[in-house]
Structure 1
């Protein structure tokens, strides 16, 4: 009941430790080299001496899994160098990156790259059965465990010829291939569905988060309370507060401040003495007690540091100096892990425009982190590089503005408005003119409370 192998006149040797699985009694184990011409010397030809109308096969013409994508002639491919000749019905096996399973039965004769090994099988063995065998997980595991070459792994001829192949009777080989032809389309459909489901599972949390944020900024997440002070009155109070800060010299007057209002069912923006219809800018309808405004109109600061880089950067001494990479995916700011520090002199030079304070928002305006907004929740002296700007809401609920800046509406605007060909860069002017759907203050608080509950309940990153 054990498998033995006899080589030449040598005594039979038990190979039970090599045989990977049991097979039916009518099947036989054989070495791949005994049933194929895989190790035989191949016929070669220089491509320039070949018939230009002949099929010229390259690896790029074969899809992962073995599907033939294209059949170009030698002339069309403008092939050069030595090629291997193959016949119609030969099995074509890619020895380069064998895990890609670029294996098929040649539908025609032609020439191919030396990375493809053409071979025949003996004894009327069904070529498609051998192709199916070479694609099976058992073979894939064996071959890829002994490939050589790190960047361009290949399988050696000795490895291939010593493979143990289970050979069924010819009639059973044909039945196996017929059944495989029936089930492979179903398996392909399942694979495609599985990939789509896996992708959806990966993307769903972020998509749902964006959907919740969009509902929030449109006034659909919590109900409106008629007892809330309308946002228009809050906006008047913000304007008065800004005037006071201007008189005290704490902020500079905005020469381009605007007021958005409704008239005749349209939205207008008053800029100085000019009134402009901005209906094409308004992205959605908002509740009656909400109002539209520009981000700069509800902030006392939107700015970044001087773009001159610090003269010296340290890993452990000086004043904390953060960047966009420190805006973490869990909704917080990293103040401690692998952070940088700058000298006191650099700090004094760079901190004149945008020194972050508690309740400010750090907003990323550059690179892959573009659009991230994080709330400063601690009293700590630090600066943030010009990869980010500091947003300081005035008399509005800062957490609401933080979430608003991460909403799909603002993200879409920021992607369209980003500058530069290299690293995407969002200009300060674009950030300042963001349209904000402003709810009453109490509703801002309720929206954030509900957002926190939903994001936490769904175990999302805030």
Structure 2
């Protein structure tokens, strides 16, 4: 998924960096490093010592990883190990919500998955528990600061390092490496666990969106020498910091693009983007032609006669227009019709059936993205076939995300339209520029009107009559075309 308009895919780049890291290709190996084989022996000795001192319990031995189980080659100085061989981990708990004394006036941070964001260190939690909850449920076992946490249910592989002592819920494990010299193993695991825990090719541990304790123990980890772990963690941190800078710059550029495009549209709608031509037929004459065309279509029964729209008051006009322009209500210059909900009990199909069904989710970049289209059966189509949209029409979303607007591709001519959108039907393409109308509907003039309407309703849905009553500036037809050419030229320089 791309993060911005510069085709900069930070997520993919991060995964590429991590893939190189776990294959020993991110930093050079150093022949002076003590190998991972020696490190593993030290870990086993440390583990035995902790068992002897009764600081940890003895666990079942894990089976050795066979050659067939190793998903890819790693450097000779590395070792394939199982997660349970190099760390001890603990599951969390959630104090009873019914026990108000566990949650009221709490001072002890309680970590849930929602608290684990993109930051490396976790300093604050949304909820805190009381001392009594700690005594009753956690038996005074606070997870110490500097401990690595990882989610293993629902959202697998979200990681953070505690900056304060805390406890956590049952969807999170606290991870304690048996050897953690200067936190090297911890920091190496911090970077690689999100990738490893989500790669199904590594292990059969992934079952839907949950890892259980046994499968966590079996999770296969490529383990470098301790010194190389340090170099890998430092290199990843350096590259990720650079990516964040690039992301920030590109996000700022994307915001600037949006701002500039908005300014261009604002100037266009005020008649300040191109010069007026005194030879142009004024919009007042154009309006008479549109009115005559509408009456003819009503007479021919191609469209229905609708109630007259109220005249536009001076108070409604946000600014003055050039003398050759006119303020008009949308319903004066086009016909507006709604879409239709799928009949109750019926379901759309993912593969081609009878007719495409266009949803608001399919409306992207002023057109329709056919990648995730749903399809109606013939039975569905027969029930709602009056609610199709033509490639000559414009769509406008009126529920959920309000104001998505654009053209219908020729390949989707006659597709069914969701009830969460309206189709705007041009009475005559020779009397109004479709592209100008799209730009007008994308402008702040229209957005501001709709925002005022939507702020007064509980559910974000724009009624068709409100859409018809929306006012837009109407230039002479020739000027509409000049404005469109100028906008396209300016926008191409911003992409």
TM-score, with length taken from structure 2 = 0.58
- C-alpha distance after superposition, 1:378-401 (max 9, x if no partner): 997676554433433463333322
Q: Give the whole-Å Cα distance in 1 for the aligned partners of 2:167 and 2:380.
A: 71
Aligned pairs for 1:177-326 within 5 A? 192-200=244-252, 209-239=261-291, 242=294, 255-260=307-312, 269=313, 277-278=314-315, 281-299=316-334, 301-304=335-338, 322-324=357-359
Q: How does 1:8-47 map to 2 (within 5 A)?
A: 22-23=29-30, 25=32, 29-31=38-40, 32-35=43-46, 41-42=55-56
Aligned partners of 1:379 and 1:104: how far apart in 2? 53
Partner in structure 2 of residue 85 of structure 1: 141
Partner of 1:66 in structure 2?
Answer: 121
Secondary structure of the residue that 1:227 maps to in structure 2?
Answer: coil
1:417 to 453, 477, 482: 453
Change beyond 3 A, Cα 1:256–1:193:
same
Question: Aligned residue for 1:148?
Answer: 205
Q: Take 2:144 and 2:362, find their aligned partners in 1: how far apart are those partners? A: 60
Once the 2 structures are TM-superposed, how far is the Cα of residue 358 of structure 1 from its aligned partner?
7.2
Match of 1:438 in 2: 474
Residue 447 (1) aligns with residue 483 (2)? yes
CA RMSD of aligned residues (A): 5.7
SS at match of 1:235: helix
Structure number with higher helix proportion: 2
- 8 Å contact 2:330–2:472 — kept in the other structure? yes
Residue number among 135, 157, 161 corresponding to 1:103 in the alignment: 161
User: Counterpart of 1:361?
Assistant: 394
- 1:76 to 1:306, Cα distance in 2 relative to 1, 3 A: same
Give the match for residue 8 of structure 1: none
Tell me: CA distance 1:82–1:217, structure 2 relative to 1, closer, same or farther (3 Å): same
C-alpha change, 1:240 and 1:76, in structure 2 (3 Å) is farther
Separation in 2, partners of 1:129, 1:335: 48
**Alpha-carbon shift at residue 429 of structure 1 (Å):** 0.7
Look up the match of 1:75: 131
- Residue 432 of structure 1: how far off its partner (Å): 0.9
TM-score (norm 1): 0.61
**Residues 148-198 of structure 1: CA deviation (Å, up to 9, x unaligned):** 344244684577999555269xxxx9xx9xxx8xx98x9887565333234
The 2-side partners of 1:247 and 1:146 are apart by 70
Q: Contact 1:228 / 1:442 at 8 angstroms: preserved in 2? A: yes
Contact 1:296 1:433 in 2 (8 A): yes
Distance 1:219 1:87 in 2: 65
Residue 193 of structure 1: SS of its match in structure 2? helix
Q: What corresponds to 1:166 in structure 2?
A: 226
Cα deviation code 1:329-385 (max 9, x no counterpart): 3645689986547579958x964xx88677443434344475323268799767655
Given that 2:150 and 2:159 are in contact with CA atoms closer than 8 Å, whether structure 1 keeps it comes out as no
Which residue does the alignment assign to 1:371?
404
Pairwise CA distance, 1:302: 2.4
Cα deviation digits, residues 104-154 of structure 1 (max 9, x gap): 57x66x8776855575878xx8544554454355x7767775693442446
Structure 2: gaps (5+ residues): 1-22, 58-89, 97-101
The answer to whether the 8 A contact 2:39-2:226 is kept is yes
Partner of 1:15: none
Whether the aligned pair in 1 keeps the contact of 2:357 and 2:374 (CA below 8 Å) is no
**Which residue pairs with 2:84 in the alignment?**
none
The alpha-carbon distance between structure 1 residues 210 and 75, as it changes in their structure 2 partners (threshold 3 A), is same
Higher RCO, 1 vs 2 (CA within 8 Å, ≥6 residues apart): 2
Unaligned 5+ segments in structure 1 are 1-17, 261-268, 270-276
SS at match of 2:435: helix
Moved more, 217-226 or 373-382: 373-382
Q: Please give the per-residue CA displacement for 1:37-75, whole angstroms capped at 9, x wherever unaligned.
A: 777654999999xx9999856433776523332595642
| CA–CA separation in structure 2 for the residues paired with 1:164 and 1:334 | 45
